Structure 1
Amino acid sequence: MATMGVIADDFTGATDIATAYAARGYRTEVLTGRTAAAAPGADVVVIALKTRTAPVETAVTESLAAHDRLVAAGHTRFTVKYCSTFDSTDRGNIGPVLDALVQRTGASRCVVVPAFPANGRTTYQGHLFVGSDLLEHSSMRHHPLTPMTRSRIADLLVPQTSRSVDEVHLAVVRQGAAAVRAALDATDAQYLVVDAVDDEDLGVIAAATADDVLRSGGSGLAIGTAPGGSDTATSFVAAPGRRLVVCGSASARTREQIAAAAAAGSPTRRLDVARLATDPEGEVADTLTWLTDQPEGSAPVVFSVGDPDDVSDDAASSARIEHALSEVVAQAVPLGFTRCIVAGGETSGAVVSRLGIERLTVGAVIAPGVCWAEGVTSAGERIAIALKSGNFGAPDMYTTAWEALA
């Protein structure tokens, strides 16, 4: 019987939490297609959606459909996976999706645990920190789609829901799972923001909520889960092929990684974003020509944002960038580029969908929250792909990640 069904609001988050469960010994499947079914015997099934910044109605509908698929596969407990920086606006989509799933599952409560200490995301006194900075003082304040200008998670969630929100602070968590469970049982609030500043705190929260029908957060809940399951992390031997990095993320860390790759000698090319509005096919074609002209052993980087002044909140421009990068990858794979890093949640979803990949096999870990995975395209091509949240990974990731491939 499957242990946990996970509904992830983007593709990087799906592989993030899958990596965490696999590392704990659970056989984990990531489903990226709308109708794909998990292999028999999976302990954890993660359904990857592209709903983080979708219209609210779309996010709710697709999340409920994912829940129903998981129920049909035998799941009785569920996790809603969102970003560890709680990426959302006052309209959602986190609150509306949680509301719909609380109603669908009949859950009496749902914890809210975005913390991911290994990547510097911690929650203290109900406030979310990125490293030593409050969320509102981090680079997420300037995110083009979901600018985060507040740090108290309850203040972020309350505008998105009509349900009540309460907090369980670190002093209670440090008393152990029984104390946390008692605190959860003592409140009538539907949503409980629970503090966590290290992995031991996550273990306490996971134990306290082990029987809850619905939980929500980042991959921290999986990191805190007790080891078990039927298998260790699945690995694979990657097909030989050329390397490629595509970056749709505008995050500070992604820009740092692009600069580090260029400094190390990797060829880099910035998309002509203005041209994408008038001649997208020409820009993609020229990018492909540039790619094939690069040395065989190199890891070319194609990106859209070079410095903070390039960041745009124009949704149409963002959609054009996602489309162009997904076309670049789709047309590069038949040319032998079968080892690919994709930076950015929205871009990752666009690339995987364009390739027609239905499921991903979890492989070697590159960095906290980032792994190599293998998929098969609709044309039958095997591809090793790493889906990276924009803010994750070391600065030298684009030059060192390849070492983890078998």
Structure 2
Amino acid sequence: MSLILGAIADDFTGATDLANNLVRSGMRTVQVLGAPDADTPVPDDVDAVVVALKSRTCPVDEALADSLAALDWLKGGNRHGEAARQIFFKYCSTFDSTDAGNIGPVADALLDRLGGAQTVMVPSFPTTGRTVYQGHLFVGDRLLNDSGMQDHPLNPMHDADLVRVLARQTPHQVGLLDDRVIRGGVAQAQEHLHRLGADGVRHVICDTLNDDDLEVLAGACVELELVTGGSGLGQALPGEYRRLGWLEPNADAARLEVAEGGPLVLSGSCSRATLAQVEHFLERHPGVALDPLELADGDAPIEAALAFVRQHREDTPDEPVLVYASAAPQRVQAAQQRLGVARAGELVERAMAILATTLVGEGIGRLLVAGGETSGAVVSALDLGQLRIGGQIDAGVPWTQARVEGRILSLALKSGNFGGVDIFTRGFDVLAEVAP
């Protein structure tokens, strides 16, 4: 076995998103859930391991501790002594974070531990409309701060200039590798990075407008000890690994076993994309809402949701059912004002965790979860140590396979902003295709 890529992701859906792109590019990939310890095994039939943390919004000291623990494990501190050739710090393609971090502090800590002098910042994922031009992040045709991310309940983003955003998170110099240089090809991009490094620039924001740009960047940074970015870079790096002779072609990287059991959707995301997906689903299938204000008064809403799902499973066992806490920004803000941001989020995450463990224990075998924090709460509650990554539903959203009490669970973790409007309905239709 030779582990090529070890990735550290700052949330669970982002980890799955990256793993999805690696599998689609021919890398056999496993996702490890939570910071591993020395006894956590590295499977002997994988090319890449993605460690999924909940470090995006937690206190910076916790984010640093978990990220460094993951790094040490990936660089040989595991049961097999297996060390990844390259480390990838994965964050969201919308770069969402506070002005204090955690992107900058974690990147600095990882570089310090590796003894590196420079890394690249490549958040772009053009397939999903995330691009960077002159250091400014766009979502579709809108600047980040006019894309809906300005209303994010945890990390509202009010500045699209990533050089400026990152400079507020690190004491080190931040530079730009712009579109003009990237159009000159790999050699010109590498020369520019070397020049910036000679000037003391540690973090380099990279323009990226399309997949060709990602391929140039992959060629320019493939031999850096640490790369950082969104999952778009993950689709380009495997080609470079093959060019260097590190990776053999593999046509079966996405194969999964078949899961049994009913379908369920749990949605805690309040992004614009997820709100539209919830609306589309409810026009076709049953669903029940959870309100944080009602959850603050006790568990009656959870019991009501359980009863709702059980009844529909009894009546139509193969029809998907939705339980959602997704709501418009005004309602989210009202709940946060009364309960506090952290408390409102904790109530929803706890409810979703109880629903997931209870209903999977009762036979749910196909589970689609929307929202990074919700996904983290669900997989933690289910105590899933690792996920085998399978085929894609939508860009950035694959089905995965886990084992719960000896049986297979098919699980999809969807970042709030990802997926077409019909993903909650179509996801179960395509499962048979990605898990032959």
The two structures have a TM-score, normalised by structure 2, of 0.90
The alignment partner of 1:160 has SS state of coil
Name the counterpart of 1:285. 303
The separation in 1 between residues aligned to 2:379 and 2:212, in whole angstroms, is 34
Of 139, 164, 170, 2:148 maps to 139
The separation in 2 between residues aligned to 1:168 and 1:273, in whole angstroms, is 44
The separation in 1 between residues aligned to 2:387 and 2:353, in whole angstroms, is 17
Q: Is residue 270–residue 306 contact of structure 1 (8 Å, CA) maintained in 2? A: no
The separation in 2 between residues aligned to 1:334 and 1:202, in whole angstroms, is 42
Q: Is residue 2–residue 41 contact of structure 1 (8 Å, CA) maintained in 2? A: no
Q: How does 1:304-315 map to 2 (within 5 A)?
A: 304-312=325-333, 313=336, 314-315=341-342
Name the counterpart of 1:104. 113
The separation in 2 between residues aligned to 1:45 and 1:305, in whole angstroms, is 31
Count of paired positions: 403
Name the counterpart of 1:365. 392
Name the counterpart of 1:38. 42
The amino acid of 1:402's aligned partner reads F
Name the counterpart of 1:84. 93
The alignment partner of 1:51 has SS state of coil
The separation in 2 between residues aligned to 1:18 and 1:93, in whole angstroms, is 21
**RMSD between superposed Cα atoms in Å:** 1.2
Q: How does 1:217-232 map to 2 (within 5 A)?
A: 217-227=229-239, 228=242, 229-230=247-248, 231-232=250-251
Of 336, 340, 364, 2:367 maps to 340
Q: Is residue 23–residue 390 contact of structure 2 (8 Å, CA) maintained in 1? A: no
The amino acid of 1:307's aligned partner reads A
Of 265, 275, 284, 1:255 maps to 275
Deviation (angstroms), 1:310: 1.8
The amino acid of 1:7's aligned partner reads I
Q: Is residue 111–residue 215 contact of structure 1 (8 Å, CA) maintained in 2? A: yes
Of 65, 72, 96, 1:61 maps to 65
Q: Is residue 6–residue 86 contact of structure 2 (8 Å, CA) maintained in 1? A: yes
Q: Is residue 31–residue 37 contact of structure 1 (8 Å, CA) maintained in 2? A: no
The separation in 1 between residues aligned to 2:331 and 2:407, in whole angstroms, is 34
The amino acid of 1:253's aligned partner reads A
Name the counterpart of 2:79. none
The alignment partner of 1:147 has SS state of coil
Unaligned segments of structure 1, at least 5 residues: none
Q: Is residue 254–residue 391 contact of structure 1 (8 Å, CA) maintained in 2? A: yes
Q: Is residue 274–residue 326 contact of structure 2 (8 Å, CA) maintained in 1? A: no
Deviations along 1:232-289, one digit per CA (max 9) or x if unpaired, are: 42321332211100111010000000000111x2101101321211213x32222111
Name the counterpart of 2:414. 388
Q: Is residue 5–residue 88 contact of structure 2 (8 Å, CA) maintained in 1? A: yes
Name the counterpart of 2:30. 29
The amino acid of 1:219's aligned partner reads S
The separation in 2 between residues aligned to 1:287 and 1:259, in whole angstroms, is 18
The separation in 1 between residues aligned to 2:389 and 2:231, in whole angstroms, is 15
Unaligned segments of structure 2, at least 5 residues: 77-81
Deviation (angstroms), 1:226: 4.2
The alignment partner of 1:181 has SS state of helix
Deviates further, 196-205 or 311-320: 311-320
Name the counterpart of 1:209. 221
The separation in 2 between residues aligned to 1:239 and 1:44, in whole angstroms, is 24
Deviation (angstroms), 1:128: 0.3
The separation in 1 between residues aligned to 2:256 and 2:21, in whole angstroms, is 17
Percent identity at matched positions?
A: 39
The separation in 1 between residues aligned to 2:41 and 2:273, in whole angstroms, is 35
